[in-house]
Protein backbone atom coordinates (compact mmCIF):
# COMPACT_ATOMS: atom_id res chain seq x y z
CA UNK A 1 0.00 0.00 0.00
CA UNK A 2 1.35 3.43 -0.92
CA UNK A 3 -0.22 6.61 0.40
CA UNK A 4 0.30 9.99 2.00
CA UNK A 5 0.08 10.22 5.80
CA UNK A 6 -2.84 12.54 6.61
CA UNK A 7 -2.97 12.01 10.37
CA UNK A 8 -0.93 10.46 13.16
CA UNK A 9 -1.30 9.79 16.89
CA UNK A 10 1.31 9.94 19.64
CA UNK A 11 3.04 6.81 20.94
CA UNK A 12 1.32 5.34 24.01
CA UNK A 13 2.25 2.53 26.35
CA UNK A 14 -0.11 0.02 27.97
CA UNK A 15 0.45 -2.78 30.49
CA UNK A 16 0.92 -6.07 28.62
CA UNK A 17 -1.75 -8.53 29.77
CA UNK A 18 0.29 -11.51 28.58
CA UNK A 19 3.59 -10.49 30.21
CA UNK A 20 2.74 -9.02 33.59
CA UNK A 21 5.10 -6.19 34.53
CA UNK A 22 5.96 -5.22 30.95
CA UNK A 23 4.39 -2.77 28.52
CA UNK A 24 3.28 -2.85 24.90
CA UNK A 25 3.39 0.30 22.82
CA UNK A 26 1.16 1.55 20.05
CA UNK A 27 0.53 4.44 17.70
CA UNK A 28 -1.71 4.91 14.72
CA UNK A 29 -1.85 6.88 11.52
CA UNK A 30 -4.15 7.39 8.57
CA UNK A 31 -3.01 7.13 4.95
CA UNK A 32 -4.77 8.24 1.79
CA UNK A 33 -4.17 7.12 -1.80
CA UNK A 34 -7.07 8.81 -3.61
CA UNK A 35 -9.64 11.56 -3.02
CA UNK A 36 -12.17 8.95 -1.90
CA UNK A 37 -10.15 6.31 -0.05
CA UNK A 38 -8.14 6.44 3.16
CA UNK A 39 -7.55 3.88 5.89
CA UNK A 40 -6.39 3.74 9.50
CA UNK A 41 -3.18 1.90 10.34
CA UNK A 42 -2.30 0.66 13.83
CA UNK A 43 1.02 -0.62 15.07
CA UNK A 44 1.75 -2.50 18.30
CA UNK A 45 5.06 -3.73 19.66
CA UNK A 46 8.09 -3.17 21.80
CA UNK A 47 8.87 0.39 22.92
CA UNK A 48 12.03 0.67 20.78
CA UNK A 49 10.28 -0.55 17.62
CA UNK A 50 7.20 1.66 18.00
CA UNK A 51 9.12 4.81 18.91
CA UNK A 52 11.56 4.28 16.04
CA UNK A 53 8.74 3.64 13.57
CA UNK A 54 6.78 6.67 14.75
CA UNK A 55 9.81 8.92 14.40
CA UNK A 56 10.60 7.64 10.88
CA UNK A 57 7.82 9.65 9.18
CA UNK A 58 5.42 12.53 9.78
CA UNK A 59 2.13 13.88 8.45
CA UNK A 60 2.63 14.81 4.78
CA UNK A 61 5.14 12.05 4.06
CA UNK A 62 4.46 9.38 1.48
CA UNK A 63 4.89 5.86 2.86
CA UNK A 64 4.91 2.35 1.48
CA UNK A 65 3.49 -0.34 3.77
CA UNK A 66 4.54 -3.89 2.97
CA UNK A 67 2.78 -6.97 4.33
CA UNK A 68 0.28 -5.41 6.74
CA UNK A 69 -2.40 -7.54 8.32
CA UNK A 70 -5.86 -6.52 7.02
CA UNK A 71 -8.52 -6.66 9.73
CA UNK A 72 -12.21 -5.84 9.83
CA UNK A 73 -12.69 -2.79 12.02
CA UNK A 74 -15.15 -2.66 14.88
CA UNK A 75 -16.88 0.56 13.79
CA UNK A 76 -18.28 1.74 17.12
CA UNK A 77 -15.12 1.08 19.09
CA UNK A 78 -12.56 2.01 16.44
CA UNK A 79 -14.13 5.25 15.31
CA UNK A 80 -14.33 6.59 18.82
CA UNK A 81 -10.54 6.98 18.81
CA UNK A 82 -9.65 7.12 15.07
CA UNK A 83 -10.83 9.09 12.06
CA UNK A 84 -13.94 7.65 10.43
CA UNK A 85 -12.86 6.01 7.16
CA UNK A 86 -14.89 4.81 4.18
CA UNK A 87 -13.39 1.32 4.48
CA UNK A 88 -14.71 -1.42 6.73
CA UNK A 89 -11.09 -2.51 7.25
CA UNK A 90 -7.98 -1.32 9.04
CA UNK A 91 -4.32 -2.23 8.62
CA UNK A 92 -2.19 -3.64 11.41
CA UNK A 93 1.59 -3.38 11.30
CA UNK A 94 3.70 -5.85 13.24
CA UNK A 95 7.41 -5.78 13.92
CA UNK A 96 7.97 -9.33 12.66
CA UNK A 97 5.97 -9.23 9.44
CA UNK A 98 5.51 -5.66 8.17
CA UNK A 99 7.74 -2.93 6.77
CA UNK A 100 6.99 0.80 6.53
CA UNK A 101 9.24 2.81 4.22
CA UNK A 102 9.19 6.54 3.55
CA UNK A 103 9.17 7.41 -0.15
CA UNK A 104 11.90 9.78 -1.28
CA UNK A 105 10.97 13.13 -2.86
CA UNK A 106 11.86 11.64 -6.25
CA UNK A 107 9.51 8.67 -5.77
CA UNK A 108 6.59 10.71 -4.46
CA UNK A 109 3.73 11.26 -6.85
CA UNK A 110 2.55 14.90 -6.80
CA UNK A 111 -1.05 13.60 -6.99
CA UNK A 112 -0.56 11.99 -3.57
CA UNK A 113 0.70 15.24 -2.06
CA UNK A 114 -2.42 17.08 -3.23
CA UNK A 115 -4.55 14.61 -1.21
CA UNK A 116 -3.10 15.98 2.02
CA UNK A 117 -5.36 19.03 1.90
CA UNK A 118 -8.67 17.34 1.07
CA UNK A 119 -11.24 17.07 3.87
CA UNK A 120 -11.97 13.52 5.02
CA UNK A 121 -15.66 14.21 5.56
CA UNK A 122 -18.49 14.72 3.09
CA UNK A 123 -18.63 18.44 2.18
CA UNK A 124 -22.36 18.43 3.04
CA UNK A 125 -21.69 17.14 6.59
CA UNK A 126 -20.05 20.27 8.06
CA UNK A 127 -21.23 23.23 10.07
CA UNK A 128 -19.49 26.55 9.67
CA UNK A 129 -18.60 28.51 12.80
CA UNK A 130 -21.27 31.06 11.76
CA UNK A 131 -23.93 28.32 11.64
CA UNK A 132 -22.97 27.17 15.10
CA UNK A 133 -23.13 30.70 16.54
CA UNK A 134 -26.49 31.37 14.84
CA UNK A 135 -28.05 28.01 15.80
CA UNK A 136 -26.27 27.27 19.07
CA UNK A 137 -29.37 26.45 21.13
CA UNK A 138 -30.82 23.97 18.63
CA UNK A 139 -27.44 22.22 18.26
CA UNK A 140 -26.96 21.75 22.01
CA UNK A 141 -25.90 18.16 22.84
CA UNK A 142 -25.27 17.14 19.21
CA UNK A 143 -21.91 16.02 17.83
CA UNK A 144 -20.93 18.29 14.94
CA UNK A 145 -18.29 18.29 12.24
CA UNK A 146 -16.67 21.70 11.92
CA UNK A 147 -14.73 22.91 8.91
CA UNK A 148 -12.48 25.83 9.78
CA UNK A 149 -9.17 27.29 8.66
CA UNK A 150 -6.41 28.77 10.81
CA UNK A 151 -5.75 32.34 9.66
CA UNK A 152 -2.80 33.05 11.92
CA UNK A 153 -0.89 31.70 14.87
CA UNK A 154 0.63 34.12 17.36
Residue 98 belongs to some domain of the structure: yes
CATH of the domain at 51: 2.40.50.140
Residue 8 belongs to some domain of the structure: yes
The structural domain count of the chain equals 1
Please state, in angstroms and rounded to a whole number, the distance separating the CA atoms of residues 12 and 54.
Answer: 11
pLDDT in tens, the chain (154 residues): 889 999 999 999 988 888 888 889 999 999 998 888 999 999 999 999 999 999 999 998 999 999 999 999 886 666 666 777 888 899 999 999 999 999 876 666 677 777 877 777 777 777 888 888 888 788 887 777 777 778 888 8
Residue 74 belongs to some domain of the structure: yes
Please state, in angstroms and rounded to a whole number, the distance separating the CA atoms of residues 61 and 105.
Answer: 9
pLDDT for residue 79 = 64
Are 90 and 38 within 8 A, CB to CB? no
Residue 60 belongs to some domain of the structure: yes
DSSP 105-138: TTT--HHHHHGGGS-SS-GGG-B-HHHHHHTTTT
Residue 72 belongs to some domain of the structure: yes
Are 38 and 120 within 8 A, CB to CB? yes
pLDDT for residue 105 = 64
If residue 11 lies in a helix (H) or strand (E), which one and from where to where? none
Residue 148 belongs to some domain of the structure: no
Residue 25 belongs to some domain of the structure: yes
Task: Give the residue numbers spanning the domain of 100.
Answer: 2-115
Are 39 and 67 within 8 A, CB to CB? no
Residue 120 belongs to some domain of the structure: no
Amino acid sequence: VIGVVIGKTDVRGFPDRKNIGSERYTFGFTIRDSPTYFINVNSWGREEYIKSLSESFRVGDCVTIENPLVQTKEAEREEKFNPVTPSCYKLLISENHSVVKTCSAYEMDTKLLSLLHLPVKDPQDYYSLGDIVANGESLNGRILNVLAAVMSVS
